[in-house]
């Protein structure tokens, strides 16, 4: 029996009177690609923000690899191997693309080694190696999204949380991205918030559907596609149309 | 940084600047020679300020307290405990280091405007305490460090810090050490993390860096370098005074750094020098010299918001550290 990588128990976060996340029990197995979907305001980003430590829960517990990390500060969770890429692009716009990736790389490796090879490997994976010297703020939006992902990869995470990574990417870029996530999933677990349904159906091993702060359904892409409650709440009448 | 990393060129430039300053010792007339020694010490203060303001992006309005902590740490050591010059200097450094850790722990709980106000308030408390404990500190009058106490003994050789050349060379040595320390810091991993915090603190945290700890180190390094300048000032110029703890001496390093170029290694030195040259020139032909200084500063902020070296770096010399 393999132990789960991430477990949340009764995870809740209130903002004033609003329960953005309401008693979520969630289990993620290592090696999985898990998609989290749901309408806007369903609590997806709040949920992953609690997992990575940007927001503290109002109640409930978070276990990572068996250890309770509910009260652990965000930077220490990153050191445990939880990497988060921001929904709203958050790179260092005034630094070079290279330096953006060198920062996570130098943190994960011991003193004395030069970060150069690892930086270029991470940039190669997302196809930005030829833009290493550019200022990050001058990259096209889609490329900034990819730089975010490269920074996440450079942390060598055990759990990579991608918050709407394909927002603003072209179709061709999305195809590259699917290949990239599959490579990443060979040695990391991926938790993916995504609105692009064809991509989710193609990529995810399992899907968790959020609605109004609760887990509405969970299962394989086929089960979710067939679930009547999900169709009513989120997918509309046809599975392929929602975005 | 990485795209055009040229360490040989960078260190050659720093050495050339120091060589020019060394040569100035032999050509400057007496008045400017004394002024330059003062500028070199105050430039160290500006370099300390630049670590926190330029690189970590934290605007402190209370750095006079670190400068004064070094100054009084050294001066009181000499006057009340009869410390020799080296021990007095170490005492000044220690006072600055301890004070900056404590202030850092408290002030870093805030950020932005609140950080400016909190540091300013702590500096005011520090300055008023100096005046209150007049029995020890000399209050408003300050303390004069007697010439006999300002001797540096190396076995048989005694260096008199009141001698102009010895004073100039000591100031230059301190300036050189501070310059290479900040240059090394900026190029180190810690330096890159500080810049990352300045650019995007939330993201830096999510890359696994303890931003609070990194900022605390920055405050401590910055405060200790400022204290080194204060201690050197006391020992070289023989005077310890509460006016050096006043708000004016918190604003001045900010102006020097802005003028020379924040987040450039040589900017603080250049900014201090230019400010003194402008002040000195203006005051030589008009009593309204503050007006001229003010106009020069406004023009600089309007046309060179990145400071002299910051503008040079942005336009032509991308490799400048």
* pLDDT band, residue A110 (cuts 50/70/90): low
pLDDT at position A241 is 46
B chain contacts of residue A76, beta-carbon cutoff 8 Å: 208, 210
pLDDT at position A236 is 59
With CA atoms as reference, the chain A residue closest to B4 would be A133
Q: Which of A90, A98, A99 to mutate to test the interface with B (most CBs of B within 10 A)?
A: A99
Is B2 within the bounds of a domain?
Answer: no
What is the arithmetic mean of pLDDT over A111-121?
A: 80
CA distance A228 to A235: 10
pTM metric for this prediction: 0.88
Pick from B28, B58, B32, B62: which is nearest to B253 by CA?
A: B62
pLDDT at position A243 is 42
CB distance from B210 to chain A under 8 Å?
A: yes
pLDDT at position B61 is 96
CA distance B115 to B21: 36
CA distance B25 to B100: 34
CA distance B321 to B313: 9
Is B287 within the bounds of a domain?
Answer: no
With CA atoms as reference, the chain A residue closest to B314 would be A94
The ipTM of this complex is: 0.84
pLDDT at position A111 is 63
Domain membership of residue B51 as a residue range = 7-247
Tally of CA atoms within 13 A in the half-sphere of A99 that contains its CB: 26
CA distance A228 to chain B (A): 38
Q: Are A91 and B203 in contact (CB under 8 A)?
A: yes
With CA atoms as reference, the chain A residue closest to B201 would be A92
pLDDT at position B158 is 79
Instruction: State the Cα angle at B241 between B236 and B246, rounded to 5°.
Output: 120
Task: Give the percent of chain A with pLDDT over 90.
Answer: 56
Highest mean pLDDT among A47-51, A231-235, B296-300: A47-51
CB distance from B3 to chain A under 8 Å?
A: yes
Residues of chain B with pLDDT under 70: 1-5
Test B208 with A108 for CB contact under 8 angstroms.
yes
B chain contacts of residue A84, beta-carbon cutoff 8 Å: 206
CB distance from B29 to chain A under 8 Å?
A: no
Question: Which residues fall within 8 angstroms of residue B291, CB to CB, at 6 or more apart?
Answer: none
pLDDT at position A166 is 84
CA distance B79 to B283: 34
pLDDT at position A145 is 87
pLDDT at position B104 is 97
Q: Are A50 and A65 in contact (CB under 8 A)?
A: no
Q: Which of B57, B203, B215 to mutate to test the interface with A (most CBs of A within 10 A)?
A: B203
Is B30 within the bounds of a domain?
Answer: yes
Q: Are B101 and B224 in contact (CB under 8 A)?
A: no
Shortest CB distance from A107 goes to which of B1, B203, B209? Answer: B209
- pLDDT exceeds 80 at position A232: no
B chain contacts of residue A133, beta-carbon cutoff 8 Å: 2-4
Residue A113's Cα: distance from chain center in Å? 29
A chain contacts of residue B2, beta-carbon cutoff 8 Å: 96, 98-99, 102, 132-133
Test A86 with B206 for CB contact under 8 angstroms.
yes
pLDDT at position B316 is 81
Pick from B148, B240, B163, B194: which is nearest to B52 by CA?
A: B194
pLDDT at position B25 is 92
Shortest CB distance from A75 goes to which of B199, B200, B205? Answer: B205
Is B70 within the bounds of a domain?
Answer: yes
Q: Is A168 exposed, middle or buried (0-12, 13-18, 19+ CB in 10 A)?
A: middle
A chain contacts of residue B200, beta-carbon cutoff 8 Å: 90-93
Is B274 within the bounds of a domain?
Answer: no
pLDDT at position A90 is 87
A chain contacts of residue B194, beta-carbon cutoff 8 Å: none
Q: Is A52 exposed, middle or buried (0-12, 13-18, 19+ CB in 10 A)?
A: buried
- pLDDT exceeds 70 at position A239: no
Chain A residues contacting B via beta carbons under 8 Å: 52, 54, 73-76, 78-79, 83-84, 86, 90-96, 98-99, 102-104, 106-108, 132-133, 151, 155
Shortest CB distance from A95 goes to which of B199, B207, B211? Answer: B199
* pLDDT band, residue A112 (cuts 50/70/90): low
Shortest CB distance from A90 goes to which of B4, B189, B203? Answer: B203
Is B179 within the bounds of a domain?
Answer: yes
CA distance B275 to B293: 8
Q: What is the mean pLDDT of chain A?
A: 88
Is B315 within the bounds of a domain?
Answer: no
Q: Which of B189, B192, B208, B314 to mutate to test the interface with A (most CBs of A within 10 A)?
A: B208
CA distance A152 to A135: 18
Is B204 within the bounds of a domain?
Answer: yes
Test B199 with A132 for CB contact under 8 angstroms.
no
CA distance A227 to A209: 11
Pick from B6, B46, B38: which is nearest to B178 by CA?
A: B46
Test A103 with B196 for CB contact under 8 angstroms.
yes
Q: Are A217 and A234 in contact (CB under 8 A)?
A: no
A chain contacts of residue B3, beta-carbon cutoff 8 Å: 96, 98, 132-133
Question: pLDDT tens-digit profile of A4-38?
Answer: 999 999 999 999 889 999 999 999 999 999 999 98
Contact map slice: B 166-205 vs A, CB within 8 A = 189, 192-193, 195-196, 199-200, 202-205
What is the arithmetic mean of pLDDT over A118-147?
A: 90
The total domain count for chain B is 1
A35 is written with which tokens?
A: 């998609």
């Amino acid at each position: 029996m393999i132990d789960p990588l991430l477990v949340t128990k009764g995870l809740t976060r209130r903002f004033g009177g609003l329960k953005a996340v309401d008693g979520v029990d969630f289990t993620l197995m290592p090696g999985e690609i898990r998609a989290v979907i749901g309408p806007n305001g369903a609590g997806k980003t709040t949920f992953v923000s609690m997992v990575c430590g940007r927001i503290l829960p109002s109640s409930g517990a978070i276990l990572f690899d068996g250890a309770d990390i509910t009260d652990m500060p965000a930077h220490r969770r990153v050191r445990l191997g939880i990497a988060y890429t921001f929904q709203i692009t958050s790179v260092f716009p005034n630094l070079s693309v290279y330096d953006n990736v060198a920062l996570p790389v130098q943190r994960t490796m011991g003193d004395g080694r030069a970060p150069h090879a690892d930086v270029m490997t991470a940039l190669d994976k997302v196809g930005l190696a030829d833009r290493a010297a550019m200022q990050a703020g001058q990259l096209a939006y889609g490329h900034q999204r990819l730089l975010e992902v490269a920074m996440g990869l450079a942390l060598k995470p055990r759990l990579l949380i991608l918050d709407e990574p394909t927002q603003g990417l072209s179709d061709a870029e999305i195809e590259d991205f699917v290949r990239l996530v599959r490579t990443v999933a060979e040695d990391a677990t991926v938790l993916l918030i995504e609105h692009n349904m064809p991509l989710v159906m193609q990529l995810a091993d399992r899907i968790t559907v959020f609605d109004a702060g609760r887990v509405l359904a969970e299962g394989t892409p086929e089960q979710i596609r067939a679930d009547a409650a999900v169709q009513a709440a989120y997918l509309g009448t046809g599975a392929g149309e929602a975005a | 940084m990485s795209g055009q990393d040229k360490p040989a060129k960078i260190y050659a430039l720093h050495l050339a600047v120091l060589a020019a300053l060394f040569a100035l010792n032999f050509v400057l007339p007496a008045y400017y020679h004394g002024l330059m020694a003062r500028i070199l010490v105050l430039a160290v203060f500006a370099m300390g300020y630049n670590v926190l303001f330029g690189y970590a992006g934290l605007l402190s309005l209370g750095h006079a307290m670190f400068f004064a902590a070094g100054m009084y740490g050294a001066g009181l050591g000499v006057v009340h405990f009869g410390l020799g010059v080296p021990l007095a200097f170490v005492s000044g450094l220690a006072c600055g280091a301890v004070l900056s850790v404590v202030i850092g722990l408290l002030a870093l709980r805030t950020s932005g405007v609140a950080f400016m106000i909190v540091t300013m308030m702590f500096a005011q408390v520090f300055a008023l305490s100096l005046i209150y404990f007049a029995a020890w500190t000399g209050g408003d009058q300050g303390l004069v460090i007697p010439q006999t106490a300002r001797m540096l003994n190396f076995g048989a050789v005694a260096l008199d810090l009141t001698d102009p050349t010895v004073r100039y060379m000591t100031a230059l040595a301190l300036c050189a050490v501070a310059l290479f320390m900040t240059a090394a810091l900026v190029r180190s991993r810690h330096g890159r993390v500080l810049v990352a915090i300045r650019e995007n603190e939330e993201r830096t945290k999510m890359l696994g860096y303890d931003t609070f700890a990194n900022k605390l180190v920055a405050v401590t390094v910055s405060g200790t370098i400022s204290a080194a300048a204060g201690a050197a000032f006391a020992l070289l110029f023989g005077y310890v005074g509460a006016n050096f703890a006043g708000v004016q001496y918190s604003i001045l390093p900010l102006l020097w750094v802005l003028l020379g170029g924040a987040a450039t290694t040589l900017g603080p030195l250049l900014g201090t020098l230019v400010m003194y040259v402008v002040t000195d020139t203006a005051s030589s032909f008009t009593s309204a010299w503050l007006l001229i200084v003010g106009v020069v500063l406004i023009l600089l902020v309007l046309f060179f918001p990145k400071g002299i070296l910051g503008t040079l770096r942005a336009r032509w010399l991308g490799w400048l550290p």
